[in-house]
Amino acid sequence: MSGYASGIVAILCINLIFAYAVFITAAAGQLNLGAAGFQAVGAYAAASFSNLGWTPGWATIPAAMAVSGLTGFLLAFPVLRTKGVYMVLATFAFGEVVSGILLQTSLFGGAMGMVVPDYLPLSSLVAGAVFATLLVFFLMATRFGLALRAIHDDDLVATVMGVNVRAMQVAVFTIGGALAGLSGALYAHHFSFVEAQYFNSTLSIFVLLFVLIGGTQTAWGPLAGSLFFTLVPETLRIGGSWRFVIFGAAIVLMMVVRPEGMITRTLVARFRRRPAAVKPVAITVGEPHVR
């Protein structure tokens, strides 16, 4: 595999894990516009542990996931006191606060960033992407996922049916934070450098688009969204600077035509549905029985 192709695959793996981090909260009806902040926490935690001599990289990754997951757990309590656009603004503010702290703290390199001494190959990123994908598919196939869909559709009805809405929302913020931390840690170890400017609000908006365009109804949505947003821009490079116009127009068109996302529950059910077997009907020829 060429260096260019391996770089695209690496970005795709990181984007996929990151998208599932946002999807798991969106599945419960919570939009997270500060996902870049969680990814930054995971990336800088992995970089810091690596600089402290924690080797190999797989020793730092669980620790980075734990730090970012704990951050999501603690953030969930004040954020979940808000709703709607106020929740979106609260998560956005979190991302900006994290970026500002990293830029102003010399311990984390400030604006110069940090070098990560331990390198992880592409195979590690692929393994991480497979792990995140299987984990989310498993969760969505359990009663946990059923409860998330119920909360997404109507949290009041879910409460009446016995679902602990607040506990579920805290859980998805924790899981989402841990997955975002995993994507950040893999990014740090693969590219061997982290800087706060990379984890900006634009990154949070893009990963949210991965999920919304792909679809929030099933776990297939983030996979489709990550493939679309990672591969299509690279394909459009032959169009020069016009690729941004074409890509933007394609996103707008898709939002108009498919506002529910590319992959929906109905679409998945249609592919899974098997044609019903036609049972043979016995026909008896003769005179009807008369009592």
- The pLDDT tens digits for 51-65 are 888 776 678 999 999
For residue range 236-267, list pLDDT tens digits in order. Answer: 776 666 767 777 787 788 878 877 788 888 88
Q: Is the pLDDT of residue 289 over 60?
A: no
Check if the beta carbon of residue 19 is closer than 8 Å to that of residue 210: yes
Region 180-201: what's the mean pLDDT?
A: 93
Q: What is the pLDDT, as a whole number, of residue 57? A: 67
Q: What is the pLDDT, as a whole number, of residue 283? A: 42
Q: What is the pLDDT, as a whole number, of residue 263? A: 86
For residue range 118-137, list pLDDT tens digits in order. Answer: 899 999 999 999 999 999 99
Q: 2: how many CB neighbours lie within 10 A of its CB?
A: 7
What residue type is 269 in one-letter code?
A
- Please return the burial class of 278, using the count of CB atoms within 10 Å of its CB with bins 0-12, 13-18 and 19+: exposed
Cα–Cα dist 107/92, whole Å: 24
Q: Is the pLDDT of residue 290 over 70?
A: no
Q: Is the pLDDT of residue 170 over 90?
A: yes
In this structure, the chain runs to a length of 291
Q: 240: how many CB neighbours lie within 10 A of its CB?
A: 8
Region 167-189: what's the mean pLDDT?
A: 95
Region 261-285: what's the mean pLDDT?
A: 64
DSSP 50-89: HHTT--SHHHHHHHHHHHHHHHHHHHHHHHTTS-THHHHH
176 CB-near residues (< 8 Å, 6+ apart):
21, 22, 24, 25, 32, 35, 38, 72
Q: What is the percent of the chain with per-residue pLDDT over 70, rounded to a whole number?
A: 91
Specify the higher pLDDT residue, 241 or 8: 8
- pTM equals 0.88
DSSP state of 275: P
Cα–Cα dist 229/122, whole Å: 20
Q: What is the pLDDT, as a whole number, of residue 287? A: 47
3-state SS assignment for residue 196: helix
Check if the beta carbon of residue 228 is closer than 8 Å to that of residue 185: no
Give domain limits for the chain: 3-199
Q: Is the pLDDT of residue 210 over 80?
A: yes
CA distances from 174 to 4, 34, 77, 123, 191 (A): 34, 14, 11, 26, 26
